[in-house]
Structure formats: C-alpha cells, structure tokens
Amino acid sequence: MNLWLGASVLVLLALTILLVPLWRAKNLSGAGDDHPEGSGLPSPVPTVSSSRRWLTLGLLGSLPAATFALYMYLGAPTILQEQALTQAHAAYDTDAMIKALEAKLRDKPDDAEGWFTLGRAYVVLQRPSDAERAFARAAELAPKEARMLSQQAEAIALRTGSLQGRPMELVMQALDLDYEDEKALELAGLAAYQQQQWAQSLHFWRRLMKKLPKDSEAYEEIGRAVRIAESKAVEASGLGDRARLDSSERPKSPH
C-alpha cells in the first residue's frame, strides 16, 4: 500500500528530526560542558540518559501509534481504494461496452440503434471522427429518425469546431423530420446565438426547455443560456424597462 508506505516514511522522518538532536545533545552535554551550572559538578549522567531513553521509547511508541489512530479517525483511509475502484469500473464499463458493441455490429451491421449507441459512446470518449462515422451509418439505416441526423451534426461540429455548413444542414433536416428533437433544438439555438440572432436562438431554446425535466442539469444550463440571450435581445432592441437586467444596488459597505 503506497499510502501506508508514504505515511511510514513521514513518521520515520519526524522521529529522526526529533531524536537526533536529543541524542546529539546528550553527547555534547555528557560532561555538562555547555551548561555553566553543571560544569563544576559531577553531572547526573545516569538519570539524564535514562530519562532520555524513556523519552525516546515514548516517542518511538506513541508517534506512530497516535498518527495511525488519528488518521484512522480523522482521515479517509479508504478513499484511494474507492477512487481506484470507481475508475476501474468506469474504464472497464465503457471499454468493454464499446468492444462488445463493435463486435456485435461487425456481425450485424444493419442495427441502426446499435450504431447510434456506439456513436454516443465515441462522443463521450472524445473520438468525434469515429462518432461521426457511426452516426452517419445510423442515419443511413434510419433516414426518418431526426436524432441520428442531429447527433451526426454535433459530431461533425465537435471535429471541425464549427456549426456552420454541413452540421446546420443536418440540423435543419432533423428539425424537418421532428420539430421537437432535443439535440437539434439545442444546436439550432446555439448556431443562432453565435450569429447574434438572439430572438431566433431564444425561440429554439425556449422550446427545448419545455421538453427537458425541470430539475435536470441540462435544464439549468439552457435556462442560463436563455437568460443571457434575453439580455442580449433587450440590449439589441431597447425594449424598455420591463426587460431590464436585475440591478444590484451599489454596495454601501464591502463586508
């Protein structure tokens, strides 16, 4: 166990730092030479060194024990295993799933749903080119499914870094097929936002928000984007007081 090894090294280091001066001082002052009071008198060497021995034994015993006990009480000794376990699971899961899917699709290449799932997995693993191919295949097999097209659009945009051109064509096709497709609405809104067409982006995103569950992270994120777009829209059009940004008072005191 690396952690215990590291902790042991630290404890040893601490003991060295404490005990070396203690014993070196003993050698120095054995004759009482750095002590004016002791210089003329026969120094009580036996008691001093025995108390030193007790001190040393005490530190040798208590420091490791107390460190261990306090760490077990205060620390998170199992965190490393837990983290390793979670990571291993995660890695094992995606890798294994992808391998299994790829194998399955080699045997049965007409499974649109399979290609779609594989594409999503590639996106998660940040392999946009592979994802693009998988979604393209899925779209080929299921040409009436909007989500195949919109996901393919996203994969292309991730690869090229732009929504313009081919991705937007696919998004528009997807919206023609299904005007409620979430990914298509999100991308359409984003494209409009990037082109500073605030009203249009609001149109897409508000529609999207109606479809998302209220307490989801995606809902909040889109909500935030909507608020920004709203303020932009107001700024651009000068709609009046009704739509002003919430104004915070000038701080009377900093604290």
Partner 1 sequence: MIPELGHVALIIALQIALVQGLAGLVGAARSGSGLKALARGAVVGQLLFVLAGFLALTWSFLVNDFSVMNVAEHSSRHLPIEYRLTASWGSHEGSFLLWTLLMAGWTLAVLVFSRRLPPDLVSRVVGIMGLLSFCFLAYILFTSNPFMRLHPAPANGRDLNPLLQDPGMILHPPLLYMGYVGFSVAFAFAIAALISGRLDQTWARWARPWTLVAWSFLTLGIMVGSWWAYYELGWGGWWFWDPAENASLMPWLAGTALLHSLVVTERRGALKVWTIFLALGAFSLSLMGTFLIRSGVLSSVHAFALDPLRGLFILVFLAIVIGGSLTLFARRASVLRSARERAGGAAEFKPVSRETAILLGNVLLLVALGTVLLGTLYPLVLDAFDLGKVSIGPPYFNTVFVPMMVPVLLLLGVAPRLRWGQSKLSVVLKGVRWEALAALVVAGAVPFAFGAFRWQAALGLGLGAWMVLTTAGSLATRWREAGFLSLSALGMGLAHTGLAIGIVGIGLVSAYQSERTVTMRPGAQATLGDYSFVFRGVTEVPAANYSAMRASLELGRGGKTLGVLQPEKRIYRVSRTTMTEAAIRYGFLGDVYVSLGEPLPGGSWNVQLYLKPFVGWLWAGALAMFCGGFLAALGARRQTEMKT
Rounded distance between C-alpha atoms, residue 113 and residue 196, angstroms: 36
Q: Shortest gap between Cβ of 81 and partner 1 (angstroms)?
A: 10
Residue among 31, 57, 80, 100 that touches partner 1 (CB under 8 A)? 80
Q: Is 238 in the site for partner 1 (CB under 8 A)?
A: yes
- Dump strand ranges (E) for the chain: none
Binding of partner 1 by 126 (CB under 8 A): no
SS3 (DSSP) at 127 = coil
Distance CA 70, CA 77 (A): 11
Q: Which is nearer to partner 1, 55 or 103 (CB)?
A: 55
When binding is defined by CB under 8 A, the residue of 108, 144, 214, 255 that contacts partner 1 is 255
> Please, is 14 exposed, middle or buried when counting C-beta atoms within 10 Å of its C-beta (0-12, 13-18, 19+)?
middle
Handedness of CA 114, 116, 122, 125 (dihedral sign): negative
Contact call for residue 66 and partner 1 (CB under 8 A): yes
Instruction: Give how many residues touch partner 1 by CB under 8 A.
Output: 59
Residue with tokens 């998660």: 124
DSSP assignment letter at 144? T
91 binds partner 1 (CB under 8 A): no
Among 31, 61, 83, 109, binds partner 1 (CB under 8 A): 83
CB nearer to partner 1: give 80 or 100: 80
**For partner 1, which is the closer residue by CB, 28 or 100?**
28
What distance in Å separates the CA atoms of residue 16 and residue 93, rounded to the nearest whole number?
A: 47
CB of 222 to partner 1, least distance (A): 15
Sign of CA dihedral 165, 170, 176, 180: negative
Task: Give min distance, CB of 227 to partner 1, in A.
Answer: 10
Q: Which stretch binds partner 1 (CB under 8 A): 75-83, 102-110, 111-119, 158-166?
A: 75-83
26 binds partner 1 per the rule CB under 8 A = yes
Whether 22 and 52 have beta carbons less than 8 Å apart is answered as yes
Q: What single string gives the DSSP state of each residue in 61-90?
A: HHHHHHHHHHHHHHS-TTHHHHHHHHHHHH
Which residues bind to partner 1, rule: CB under 8 A?
2-3, 6-7, 10-11, 13-14, 17-22, 24-26, 28-29, 34-35, 37-38, 48, 51-52, 55, 59, 62-63, 66-67, 70-71, 74-77, 79-80, 82-83, 86, 224, 234-235, 238-241, 244-245, 247-248, 250-251, 253-255
